[in-house]
Chain A
């Protein structure tokens, strides 16, 4: 199984509040993990990727950060959310064949 668990499914947060989205994966060890965001009317944009514990690469400058404290755990965070952080956040993995996405988190910053 290459299952990806993401939670929560939906989240409404006020501007300036912190954020923590968690993604955990099952299946083969040492997967490459990715955070993507789909903003309204736009395609999927790669935010971060990780090839191992503690290894994070950022693709675009932004208000968010990512961490990988364990092999199968990938966390997306923010200290202070902006309105522009609203969107649909997807965790994804490769490894064991193919690219698998989680079910996503719909974040609305108000």
Chain B
């Protein structure tokens, strides 16, 4: 059972335009959501996160939106740059699973973003 789903395996956008990456989840116990960026042959690096008490979090060109009623979150990148080309993973966590406020992360399948110059 895939509790976190990224239904778009790939996304292609033009440099300077907006990239919108989507993620859906099914477990209502998730209360913390993260986006990671991964280049080939490297580990994922943290991008941005959002707690379930918020519906928006912004950091520079990256904004994450959370719609709890729809169990949906999205990552917006504006403006998109060629260096943003990577695999983006959505991840979710519930409280105290594993003894930390982050606990175990459940990841989506990832979306390959390609930004064309």
Write the residues of chain A forming the contact surface with B, with a CB cutoff of 8 angstroms: 4, 6, 9, 32, 34, 36, 42-46, 49, 51, 59, 88, 90, 92, 94-95, 98-104, 106
Write the residues of chain B forming the contact surface with A, with a CB cutoff of 8 angstroms: 4, 6, 34, 36, 41-46, 89, 91, 98-100, 102-110
CB neighbours (8 Å) of A6 from chain B are 43
Q: Is the CB of B99 within 8 A of A104?
A: no
In chain B, what residue has the closest Cβ to A45? B107
Q: Is the CB of B34 within 8 A of A99?
A: yes
CB neighbours (8 Å) of A99 from chain B are 34, 46, 102, 105
CB neighbours (8 Å) of A44 from chain B are 44, 89, 91, 105, 107, 110
Closest 3 CB pairs of A and B: A101-B43, A43-B109, A44-B107
Q: Is the CB of B41 within 8 A of A9?
A: yes
CB neighbours (8 Å) of B107 from chain A are 36, 43-46
Q: Which label, helix, strand, loop or mixed, suits the secondary structure of the A interface?
A: strand
Given A42-B109, A88-B41: 17 more A-B contacts, CB < 8 Å: A4-B43, A34-B105, A44-B91, A44-B105, A44-B107, A44-B110, A46-B107, A49-B98, A94-B103, A95-B100, A98-B102, A99-B34, A99-B46, A99-B102, A102-B43, A103-B42, A103-B43
CB neighbours (8 Å) of B34 from chain A are 99
CB neighbours (8 Å) of B100 from chain A are 32, 94-95
